[in-house]
Amino acid sequence: MNPEFIDINDFRARMETLRRTGMNFLRDIIGMDWGEEGLGAIYSLENTSTGQVLQTAVRCCDREKPSIPTVCDLWSVAELYEREVYDFFGIHFAGHPDMRRLYLRNDWVGHPLRKDYNEDEAINPIRMENEIPEDVQRPYELAEDAEMEISDKLTNKIHGDQYIINIGPQHPATHGVLRFRLALDGEEIRKIDIHCGYIHRGIEKMSEKMTYPQILALTDRLDYLSAHQNRHALCMCIEKAMGIEITDRTQYIRTIMDELQRIDSHLLFLSCAAMDLGAITTFIYGFRDREKILDIFEEVTGGRLIQNYNTIGGVQYDITPDFAKKVKEFCQYQKGKLQEYNDVFTNNIITRKRMIGVGILSYDDAISYGCTGGTGRASGWACDVRKRHPYALYDKVDFKEIIYKNGDCYDRFLVRLDEIVESIHIIEQLIDNIPEGDYKVKTKPIIRIPEGRYSASVEGSRGEFGVFIESKGDKSPYRIKFRPMGLPLVAAMHKILKGAKIADLIAIGATLDYVIPDIDR
């Protein structure tokens, strides 16, 4: 893939033209450090009506005070993506209303993903005091002669008599370690400020020193409930770059495992959403059914949660002889149990009152924020990667894409229940026809990718998971970027929560279905 390089003076005009002519989905902004050529970013855009995909890139040569014009008024998700690029590379985005770090503490010294970052522990020791919150931000503006100027407008200031409470990071309902600071007016939420980074493990920086099979071992832990899909994306990207053809048997096995993983993840979503609203019975039922899938996984791959199964060129082990029988038994069992969830939880009057009409995300907002996955489909946007850009065997099986129109919590919940039925349908079409053959092809002992830029996406359990690799021909990548499935969802919370109450925050957070290690990487 070759991005179109735009000069920094024409950048803003070109992006406005692209947005007007229909490129309404900003998939990712990938910050880059090109060494002597300067710092910059690559933007990946898509037109949702025609399916056209385009990459643009911009470069600024000043390493002391790099600056690029912002695009966050054209695509709303760019607010958080640009904060991430600022955090890791130090590039200021002129015109951004809230230029703070996203993942690291605000007293962190340095920008980690730059090539000249000093990793000495003495510079950034383990600081055990609180970080002082910044409630006052000063935006940077690009003046006429392109020198940066700090204006003194105080934005994002919290009004004097609003009551601020803190939720998290250790909290039973935040699905991990996410911290919210809410400004309340009585029980209604006026403003929400999201602090992520409590589980930021620096996977992208670590990967720049590791070989490709070692990076593969780490991708299981990004979104551990889409473990097979994450590894599938990285393996697809590397195999495409090196030109390796995998066998049909591998394609069948990878697709079946992906769909089993999707059912597993949706059952866990159901259990945790119910537990957040107080229905602990459904939590127990969901986990009981999930254990059947984990048994199948453990027999074949050896792991319950972290499976280590897809490798470059194939899979790690062949499937066991009674795999098909067990999967068919599971499909029969699960079809019978779906009505039980509806009886106990979905049709219950309390659930309906708490979720119908709450937390509405409109169709335009879903595209502008880039909320793919079940959340986007509940707002009416047909964003399934399996239908838009098919991969593996998804163009050969017959399945429906589940779309609902209202965009409230109840629809987001129903989308995933219906997707379980569709996944069982896909598995039943494939399970009896697995062809004979090898389960992996022979590859070189040391994997080197030819020079260039490559990307691949899959439909993870929560949205579109993408991998971008820029390689200079070595055994380690020059830059690797994973598109997080959950960051757009968290970015959209600000819009969804207008006028909602605190109890609605819990229901909305539960049905948006994010997993924090995937946001923080």
Contact residues toward another protein (CB under 8 A) are: 104-105, 112, 119, 124, 126-130, 132, 160-161, 169-172, 176-177, 197-203, 205-206, 209-210, 213-214, 217-218, 221, 224-225, 268, 281, 283-285, 287-288, 291, 298-306, 308, 316-317, 340, 343-345, 347-350, 445, 516-517
Closer residue to another protein (CB): 119 or 147: 119
Contact 466, 233 (CB under 8 A): yes
Question: Of 460, 510, 508, which is closest to residue 270 (Cα–Cα)?
Answer: 510
Give the 3-state secondary structure of 371-386: CCCHHHHHCCCCCCHH
Closer residue to another protein (CB): 353 or 400: 353
Q: How far is the CB of 511 from another protein (least distance, A)?
A: 18
Closer residue to another protein (CB): 251 or 308: 308
Closer residue to another protein (CB): 249 or 290: 290
Closer residue to another protein (CB): 13 or 217: 217
**DSSP H stretches of helix in 278-318:** 280-301
Q: How far is the CB of 240 from another protein (least distance, A)?
A: 22
Closer residue to another protein (CB): 247 or 316: 316
Distance separating alpha carbons of residues 219 and 325, to the nearest angstrom: 30
Between vectors from CA 423 to CA 238 and to CA 432, what angle results, nearest 5°?
85
Give me the sign of the Cα torsion angle 384, 81, 200, 39: positive
CA distances from 441 to 128, 177, 313 (A): 50, 40, 5
Q: How far is the CB of 285 from another protein (least distance, A)?
A: 8
Closer residue to another protein (CB): 146 or 305: 305
Residue with tokens 């899979």: 315
Give me the sign of the Cα torsion angle 80, 52, 425, 256: negative
Closer residue to another protein (CB): 54 or 173: 173
**Tokens representing residue 454 in the block:** 């490559």
Return all residues near 53 (Cβ < 8 A) that are at least 6 apart.
44, 45, 46, 47
**H/E element holding 59?**
strand 53-60
Closer residue to another protein (CB): 112 or 139: 112
Neighbours of 484 (CB within 10 A): 27
Q: How far is the CB of 384 from another protein (least distance, A)?
A: 25
Q: How far is the CB of 243 from another protein (least distance, A)?
A: 22
**Tokens representing residue 161 in the block:** 């008599």
| DSSP for 148-170, written as a single string | EEE----BSPPPTT-EEEEE-SS
Q: How far is the CB of 454 from another protein (least distance, A)?
A: 22
Q: How far is the CB of 158 from another protein (least distance, A)?
A: 11
Q: How far is the CB of 263 from another protein (least distance, A)?
A: 15
Distance separating alpha carbons of residues 34 and 91, to the nearest angstrom: 13
Q: How far is the CB of 281 from another protein (least distance, A)?
A: 6
